[in-house]
Amino acid sequence: MIEYALLFALGFLTAALLGLLLAPVIQRRIVYFAEKRLISTMPISPQEVRAQKDAARAEHAAEAARLSHKIQRERDRATAEMLKTAEAEQKLAQARARHDALEADVAELTARVEHLTQVIVAAEAELERLRPPADDLSDEQTPPPPDGNDTGTERADASFDAAKADAPAPATMPEAVGSDVPDAAMADRFTDLKERLGVFAPLRPLPFAAAKQTVAVAASTVIARADSEPGPDSAAATIIAPPSTDEIDAFINRLLEAANPEQDEALRAQLADLAARMVAATALEEGPSSPLPALLDAVDSDPPEGRLSLAGCARRLLAKDAEA
């Protein structure tokens, strides 16, 4: 048993001796490999150290430039978004202003429509209220038409003389006949003429009936005078005949029934023709001593394009009569 212990101790000592012999060799190899790795990974010379510094600086500069470019791009994007937001806010403000203006206009138009509706309703109610009394007054107070006897003729002569007395004086007649009246004055005169002829007949039937009767009686008087007093110009009078009562009644009815402004030109032309025929017939009836031809020749009218003044119409009729 001692022998086994001695053999075990001998083997252990032998192994320890071999380990002590091989340890320096292994240690040198470890140091060699460690130094080689350190030399390969770490700069040893000053040039290598500077190169490492320059590489680090370049890498840092590149990263900084990349970050700066990215920040600038983000700033530009933010600025563009701000501009778009400001433009959208401006458009929104303009749209709100237009919306407010349209709402104000709608409110104003609604108020005007309501006001006009109330006015129309009130006017229709007033018209319906006044229509029966006006019809009664028209039936009761309208004078009968002339029957052709001496009393009717005398009344017609008086009406015709009164109409001639109300006409403008010869000194001012050229200006009244041939002047180019402005649109506003023409509108006022046309409104006054419609009122005189009784365009509001349901409200005031008596003035309309009286005006219509006066015009009809005056026209019939002129026709009766032209027929009852033949003279050297009787043949010409048959060519230029004054407007008859039927023509005047038809014109008055057409004037009352006119509701379209496009008919004003035709009504104006018909009225000018009736007046010119009346003036020409009066001039022919009075004979050479009549001052009307001289007054018509003295008129220097300049009517609008496409129209003929009253003086021009009368002169044309007298010229046709002279040629005949």
- What pLDDT digit, counting tens, does each position of 234-264 carry? 444 445 667 777 777 777 777 767 666 666 6
pLDDT at 19 over 70: yes
For residue 270, what are its two tokens?
Answer: 């018909």
pLDDT tens for 212-232 read 444 444 444 444 444 444 444
Average pLDDT estimate for 152-168: 46
Residue 247 pLDDT: 77
Average pLDDT estimate for 82-110: 93
Which pTM value belongs to this model?
0.29
Range 203-208, long-range pairs (CB < 8 A, 24+ positions): 203/127, 203/130, 203/134, 204/134, 205/134, 205/135, 205/137, 205/138, 205/141, 205/142, 206/137, 206/138, 206/141, 206/142
Average pLDDT score, the chain: 70
pLDDT-derived band at 72, boundaries 50, 70, 90: very high
Average pLDDT estimate for 288-306: 66
Instruction: Provide the sign of the torsion angle of the four alpha carbons 140, 145, 147, 148, taken in this order.
Output: positive
Q: Which residue has the higher pLDDT, 30 or 192?
A: 30
Residue 60 pLDDT: 94
Residue 44 pLDDT: 67
Residue 14 pLDDT: 92
pLDDT at 155 over 70: no
Question: In the 8-state DSSP scheme, what is residue 143?
Answer: P
Residue 299 pLDDT: 64
Q: Which residue has the higher pLDDT, 281 or 226?
A: 281
The Cβ of residue 173 has, within 10 Å, a number of other Cβ atoms equal to 19
Give the relative orientation of helices 245-257 and 205-228 as an angle to the nearest 10 degrees. Answer: 150
Query: Could you write out the DSSP letters of every residue in 209-241?
Result: HHHHHHHHHHHHHHHHHHHHS--TTHHHHHHSP
Report how far residue 233's alpha carbon sits from residue 324's, in angstroms, rounded to the nearest whole number: 11
